[in-house]
Amino acid sequence: MKKELIYLDRNENHYGPAPAVFKALHKRNFKKLTTYSRDFTRGVKSRLSERLSQLLGIEEKQILLGYGAEDLLKQAVHCFLSTGETILVPQYSWWYYKVIADEVGGIRKTYPIREEEYQFKYDIDALVDAYRIHNPAMVLISTPNNPPGNSISLMDLVKVLEAMPEAIVVLDEAYTLFANPDTSYLKMLVERFPNVLITRTFSKFYALAGIRIGYALLGKQLSELNTFSARYLGYNRLSERLAIAALDSLEYYEDMRRKMLADIDMFFTELNQIPGFKAYRSETNFILCRIPENMKKPLDEYLRMHGFIIKFMNEDDLNSHIRITIGTQEENRQLMDLIKSFMEQTNYGELV
């Protein structure tokens, strides 16, 4: 039988969702699936937005649900960016931002990200300068950022938001929970900055990419998006219950988080011991590493032959890099050992 491939290329979470999620799935009264939810009778969109509101201390009407953060980012751009208006995005970032800006005929400008010795960093002064030069309608900040893995500190974020009152500032926080379980700052941000929009997802940390649920927190000036995104017949009743079961499983996810952080450190240390490799600090469930250009193809082939798929970057300034999604402890160990055995079995180590 052919061995199943292990995909560590799309930042999915191989630990899988908490046992309580499967329990909720099995317990479901499937009759409920034949009807729309009636959560609106309580004046809320969904029991999930209601639950998030209690959890985060943010008014329910400032919380939107969507078909993943992908959908919410697209909706925000379609709602707020008109043809010919500018959106500012990080120099290195998720390719999808470009696609949604293009969909509405937006003009995409980038702001620089600094490469320091073993990490990428947002350059706050350069970001604020870019805002002043380009006068954008929207600014996108991904924190932590994909693929470089860098974050913006809360202090810097506040500085940036204070400098950009005229734009809608979107924070893509798809990966935040891996490094920062604290959510208390979210309430402060949406109360203090009426122009901020924060997107989060159940896909990554909660390992629920398949149920397609994300949420957005809206600053008070952005209620137009509430109307734009209204779903009068409710949301996916199964997904919203599974997401709540995940929110209830703190212990499971905390244990997973500790294991992942340990493995990020393992990859960082061991990749950096390989001649010609340079791994960057990451605050996410993936790690970026520069490798010698001529190693891309043979390494890809070698790993595939042994059942592993990782991401070989192919972007303007990041084209000699791999991005490894952190899998389970066992997968991570196997992958790291395979990379080492590739180096031993070929003469690449001597060539760099």
Residues in contact with ligand PLP by CB under 6 A are: 11, 68-70, 94, 142, 146, 172, 174, 201, 203, 209, 214
In the bound state with ligand PLP, the residue whose beta carbon lies nearer, of 53 and 201, is 201
Using the structure block, give the residue that is written with the tokens 């699936």: 33
Cis peptide before 144 (omega within 30 of 0): yes
Encoded tokens for 211: 């149920």
In the bound state with ligand PLP, the residue whose beta carbon lies nearer, of 142 and 150, is 142
* Phi, psi values for residue 214, rounded to 5°: -135, 170
* Phi, psi values for residue 325, rounded to 5°: -80, 135
Q: Which helix (H) or strand (E) holds 267?
A: helix 250-272
Beta strands 86-90 and 138-142: pairing type? parallel
Kindly state the smallest distance separating residue 288's Cβ from ligand PLP, in Å. 13
In the bound state with ligand PLP, the residue whose beta carbon lies nearer, of 11 and 62, is 11
Half-sphere exposure of 319 (CA within 13 A, CB side): 4
In the bound state with ligand PLP, the residue whose beta carbon lies nearer, of 45 and 74, is 74
CA dihedral 232, 233, 235, 236 (to 10 degrees): -160
Cα–Cα distance between 39 and 46 in angstroms, integer?
5
Kindly state the smallest distance separating residue 71's Cβ from ligand PLP, in Å. 7
Kindly state the smallest distance separating residue 275's Cβ from ligand PLP, in Å. 30
Kindly state the smallest distance separating residue 21's Cβ from ligand PLP, in Å. 16
Kindly state the smallest distance separating residue 126's Cβ from ligand PLP, in Å. 20
* Phi, psi values for residue 285, rounded to 5°: -105, 30
Q: Which amino acid does the sequence have at 295?
A: M
- DSSP-derived 3-state class of residue 183: coil
Kindly state the smallest distance separating residue 106's Cβ from ligand PLP, in Å. 18
In the bound state with ligand PLP, the residue whose beta carbon lies nearer, of 70 and 263, is 70
Residue 104 · residue 207 · CB < 8 Å: no
In the bound state with ligand PLP, the residue whose beta carbon lies nearer, of 62 and 142, is 142
In the bound state with ligand PLP, the residue whose beta carbon lies nearer, of 65 and 274, is 65
Encoded tokens for 349: 């180590």
User: What does the chain come to in residues?
Assistant: 352
Kindly state the smallest distance separating residue 176's Cβ from ligand PLP, in Å. 10
Kindly state the smallest distance separating residue 141's Cβ from ligand PLP, in Å. 11
- Helix pair angle (154-163, 184-192), 10° resolution: 10
Residue nearest to ligand PLP (CB): 68
In the bound state with ligand PLP, the residue whose beta carbon lies nearer, of 75 and 146, is 146
